[in-house]
Amino acid sequence: MKSSWSDKKAGEFVSQYAAQWGEDLAYRTYSARLLGAEKSLVLHGGGNTSVKSRYTNLLGESLESVFVKASGYDLLTIEPQGHPALDLEYLKRLRELAELSDEAMVREIRTHLLDCESPTPSIETLVHAFIAKKFMDHTHADAILALTNQADGQKVVKEALGEDVLVLDYVKPGFQLAQATAAAMETHPGKRAMVWMRHGLLTWGDTAQESYLSTIELVSQAEEYVAKKASKSLNVTVSTPLKKAEQRWVQVAPLLRGLLAEPNAVDQTYRRMILRPLISKATLDFVDSDRGRELALSPPLTSDHLIRTKAFPVWIDSPAYEEPSQLRDQIAGAIQEYRTSYQNYLDRNSAQSETVSTRFDSAPRVILMPGLGAACSGKDVFAANVCRDITAQTLEVKAKIGAMGDYEGLSESEFFAMEYHTLQHKKLEGSELPLSRQVAVVTGAAGAIGSGLSRVFLEQGCHLAVTDLPGNRLDDLVKELQSRFGERVLGVPLDVTDSNSIAEGFASIIATWGGVDLVLVNAGVALVSSLEEMDVEDFRRVERVNVEGTLLMLAAAGRHFRAQGTGGDVVVISSKNVFAPGAQFGAYSATKAAAHQLARIASLELAEIDVRVNMVSPDAVFSEGKRKSGLWAEVGPERMRSRGLDEKGLEDYYQNRNLLKAKVTAEHVAKAALFFCTRQTPTTGATIPVDGGLPEATPR
């Protein structure tokens, strides 16, 4: 591992932050980010850093303080406020206690923050308080864990890093670890660093640079040792090509996602998970190897990962990829066995612990399958990404240990104590938006109604595949939505008149998030022409999009929902013209009526698999923000000419003709669709008019 320290860059941090936060915290922020930039050192809020400095209160008093990284904060992007200040003098006195429960420790930490609005500091805050070193860095370096998590690990660590590094056997993080670390430091003064067995590395220095460089040097030594001692690689019996594994993922992911979902008997919904695949040569070599199962089902590398991945994955032996029904049974049996095992694990350990207040669900977070790789799950794409990254690190390090010797991890009581540690659970706290576990696809997304649907569903937490014909309109919308909603937006070029394009679109969504739950059929085109003058080829063009496109989307959705097995919702964006057609608008009115009828039939055919199909019939929606309606671009000019109105006058005309004198917007349409997709009533085959009240267009 190479040092990334730059005096110039460090100086820039001082220039940016020192005036408000002081030089010490400016340097602390810089070196913390350097550590966070190395994935082999820390992942997603792992590790912690600190600096001892002075804090000036409102009375102008300068207090001896320790600034400790807040729990769950990512070192890669941390700002100075991510190291909240605590009363160091008081915290040091806690060492006098013989014992301190987790709950009491958290209370003492929270009540001795120097700013009451600060986030809660790391679980290892007292380690940083009890050790009289100015800068301290704690990481979960892969190379260090490769040394500590094997038989006779203490001997291995000393052989690799030398006698000037202290080695401490595993101690539960919190007060106990702080006491043990401080005692070891006093017994063996003058050491340069400390390794916590099956946990990580602790370094220190008088300057941020000194502590950082100590971490880099020791991790480099560990990497060199591992490379030298890795005398045997895992024996790969079958080498699965990446492309084949990726194809299997599209086949398997909906099965996995459906079987991982937990039904809610009260409101007939499912607690779904978002899936992220881990498919790489390294992963395939691991799961296809002769020791893959043995190593995978060993305890975790470090207790810090438990809340993201749980202690163990599911392993599917000899998956029957060519026999879908047999494969479903294999997966279902393995997941049920895991759930039962997890409940037994909780029952065994919770009676001996006072920290179990809220139990995690019993579903696995990681599923490993030879010939495919790993499926990693989370409540949303961000949680699933964390799980995937930790799983990749875990498999890589376990493979290295397997090449050196025998793996030896935490005991059950040790990892249970950390899985149900108060501060660990707090990292996962936070409310969920209504659709945060759902995946939706919107057709015709680049238009006015489609972009409104996309925005509203994303605001409700949804993971959304934004689809339309390829081109700038779609690209611009995807870019705009991703700038606000990030990885919850997927752009998918899709032609609803082409069954292959639809199949490829669904495959792309499945490859990304594991499946689809909500299908919003919105794509449509219009034609202005009298029946006498209508060109039949123009009519067929409208029919292909409005009727065949709806049919093909309904068919694809039905097949997918049947495979996934957890129901689903379809909303077809219909039209006021279904019930009240307009002159010169025969092609549109007739084809939307046909699409509406297909949706009603789908509600009859798909109810048996708990798929609800409903319709929303809006009146004129002219625009959504800067996006003009494609339909009204077609219809508007003729309507304006016939009524002698300009664009604004035409909009006013449609607003004033409804009972409520309401302007109908894309957001109104989206909220009607949202009503159906959040299953607030047991309804299917129904239509909600969104037209401000047009008696002639009332569904009947």
Domain containing residue 552: CATH number: 3.40.50.720
Q: Is 666 exposed, middle or buried (0-12, 13-18, 19+ CB in 10 A)?
A: buried
Please tell me the total count of domains within the chain: 3
430 domain residue, yes or no: no
363 and 472 inside one domain: no
Residues 34, 37, 40, 44, Cα dihedral to 10°: 120
Task: Judge if 258 and 224 occupy the same domain.
Answer: no
Q: Does 645 reside within a domain? A: no
Same domain, yes or no, for 189 and 144? yes
Any domain includes 81: yes
What pLDDT is stored for residue 425 in this prediction?
63
pLDDT digits (tens, 9 = 90+) for 231-280: 777 788 778 999 999 999 999 999 999 999 998 877 668 899 999 999 99
Across 148-185, b (16+ Cβ under 10 Å) vs e yields bbbeebeebbbebbeeebbbbebbbbbbbbbbbbbebb
Last residue of a domain, one of 229, 250, 279: 229
d(CA 51, CA 212): 12
Q: pTM value?
A: 0.91
Residue 234, pLDDT score: 79
Cα four-point dihedral sign 351, 356, 359, 365: negative
Low-confidence ranges of the chain (pLDDT < 70): 267-268, 352-357, 422-429, 629-634, 636-637, 639-640, 700
Same domain, 320 and 458: no
Give me the CATH number covering residue 37.
3.40.225.10
Cα–Cα distance measured from residue 28 to residue 22, given in angstroms and rounded to the nearest whole number: 10
Q: Cβ–Cβ contacts within 10 Å for residue 479, how many?
A: 11
* 3-state secondary structure at position 165: strand
pLDDT in tens, 588-611: 999 999 999 999 999 999 999 999
Q: Which of 202, 229, 256 is the last residue of a domain?
A: 229
- Please tell me whether residues 494 and 552 are part of one structural domain: yes
User: What does the block give as tokens for 337?
Assistant: 């066995």
CB atoms within 10 A of CB 623: 18
**Matching residue, tokens 């759902």:** 438
Query: What CATH number does the domain containing 382 carry?
Result: 3.40.225
Q: Is residue 1 part of a domain?
A: no
**Are 152 and 91 part of one and the same domain?**
yes
Any domain includes 520: yes
Domain extent at residue 66: 7-229
Instruction: Give the C-alpha separation, 2 to 227, whole Å.
Output: 16
Q: Is residue 569 part of a domain?
A: yes
Residue 363 lies in a domain: yes
Check whether residue 163 and residue 23 sit in a common domain.
yes
Rounded to whole angstroms, the Cα distance separating 242 from 250 reads 13
Which domain-ending residue is among 176, 203, 229? 229
Q: Let me know whether 265 and 216 are in one domain.
A: no
Same domain, 163 and 285: no
Give me the residues paired with residue 165 across strands.
Answer: 193
Task: Check residue 633 and give its pLDDT.
Answer: 66
| Closest among 23, 26, 30, 41 to 6, alpha carbons compared | 30
**Do 185 and 92 fall within a single domain?**
yes
- Cα 504-315-505 angle, rounded to 5 deg: 5
**Are 546 and 492 in a shared domain?**
yes
Tell whether 644 is covered by a domain: no
355 and 489 co-located in one domain: no
